[in-house]
Structure 1
């Protein structure tokens, strides 16, 4: 990945983006669009947590939450007994996630937090999860990012992304006509077929699929398991 791509994301989430997304992921006052995004993100988290709970072995798993944000996935997984390794490119996000985890789980929780971009994550984990992160990176970066995370996953890889469809592309183009705070932010959509191919090329087959659709939030969720 180009250094500039990572720097843009890192700088954004350590500055204005941190406050914006902390509010969206939290429970404070937000505008109508942000509230809709909050609900969509919550639904995506619930889908993934329910998948893993259904398997009834969370307490036996090590899970890498790649791009953990404020801990909205790591915390419920830890509550269910998983050992979680949660990272984010933003130091501010990681500090907020630590605070949220201490509030929800106490001081001696089973989440290991660290600051890292996706391509610097190391180690092996039963499951690697990367939710709502790819939207910040263009197509040319995705293959390398997904391959690296796939190499860290011993058994399962769960990923979500904004699907590239004619309708969503049209909505984004419409949004670009509006100036000021209403203007669309830097966001990328990705071809589902291409993401599936990358997973298959790295030894995974698709087991479960999900889709979250709200008025301002669209996320395709794929679970790949090793052959």
Structure 2
């Protein structure tokens, strides 16, 4: 499948059935046990990123691009901490939901810009670029170009997450595809960490911090890289 076809599949999914499903997962409402586990795993990833950025003691006024912002799970708390955040997502519905969640928060919405935009068309320069839980939707032969583009936007730092490719997790993915059935599963690609690190290196970035986030149904490798 071509890059354009992959993006169309992702965009259509998150503007239709995927939007309703993931809005519930990323919200506070009642969900099933699997969805709750995924919600908790995603929140751990968000919390880890916020912990890293908070530890640097320079969040107020920091310019951040949240590429693949979804419903604003990361963008909103970063703006609450004082960062100036540009959040984008391929899904118009996701961006609309993010705006709805932020618009009535005093002093927050002024620090946020949300736009429905393909990652490849993002422009500008930001101190920090963050891309969480996006690469899982794209195969290995497409991520080098995506990460390289994100690197070009980052003045200092790029933080991204991906589903690590290991034998154990590959087997778990195969089992997971059987339940709750094809109609409710989404395409999920795993990536080798050494490939991600090489892409960073090829673009003049060096890994600084790493973390592994895992629950029963959510696995994410989180890497922070800075310009060499």
TM-score, structure 2 normalization: 0.96
1:180 matched to 2:181? The reply is: yes
Given that residues 124 and 154 in structure 1 are in contact (C-alpha distance below 8 angstroms), is that contact kept between their aligned partners in structure 2? yes
Q: Where does residue 193 of structure 2 map in the other structure? A: 192
- Between 1:159-168 and 1:176-185, the stretch displaced more is 176-185
Q: Name 2:90's counterpart in structure 1.
A: 89
Q: CA deviation at 1:172?
A: 1.3
Q: CA deviation at 1:180?
A: 2.8
| Residues 4 and 34 of structure 1, relative CA distance in 2, 3 Å threshold | same
**1:93-127 residue CA offsets vs partner (Å, 9 max, x unmatched):** 00000011113346752001111111111111000
Question: 2-side partners of 1:179 and 1:84: how far apart?
Answer: 36
Counterpart of 1:61 in structure 2 is 62
Question: Shift of residue 59 of structure 1?
Answer: 1.0
Who is 1:134 aligned against?
Answer: 135
Give the corresponding residue for 1:18.
Answer: 19
Alpha-carbon RMSD across the aligned residues, in angstroms, is 1.5
In structure 1, the residue matched to 2:224 is 223
1:88–1:183 distance in 2 versus 1, CA, 3 Å? closer
Residue 154 of structure 1 is matched in structure 2 by 155
Q: Deviations over 1:131-173 (max 9, x none)?
A: 0110111111100000001100010000000000000100111
CA–CA distance in 2 between the matches of 1:38 and 1:32?
Answer: 10
Q: Does 1:29 align with 2:30?
A: yes
Which consecutive segments of 4 or more residues in structure 1 shift more than 6 A? Answer: none
Bigger shift: residues 109-118 or 18-27: 109-118
Q: For residues 25 and 150 of structure 1, what CA distance do their matches in structure 2 show?
A: 27
Q: 1:179 to 1:112 in 2, by over 3 A?
A: closer
CA change 1:117–1:206 in 2 (3 A) is same
Distance 1:96 1:32 in 2: 23
Q: Helix, strand or coil for the counterpart of 1:99?
A: helix
| Separation of aligned partners in 2, 1:62 and 1:117 | 20
5+ residue gaps, structure 2: none
Structure 1 residue runs of 5 or longer lacking an equivalent are: none
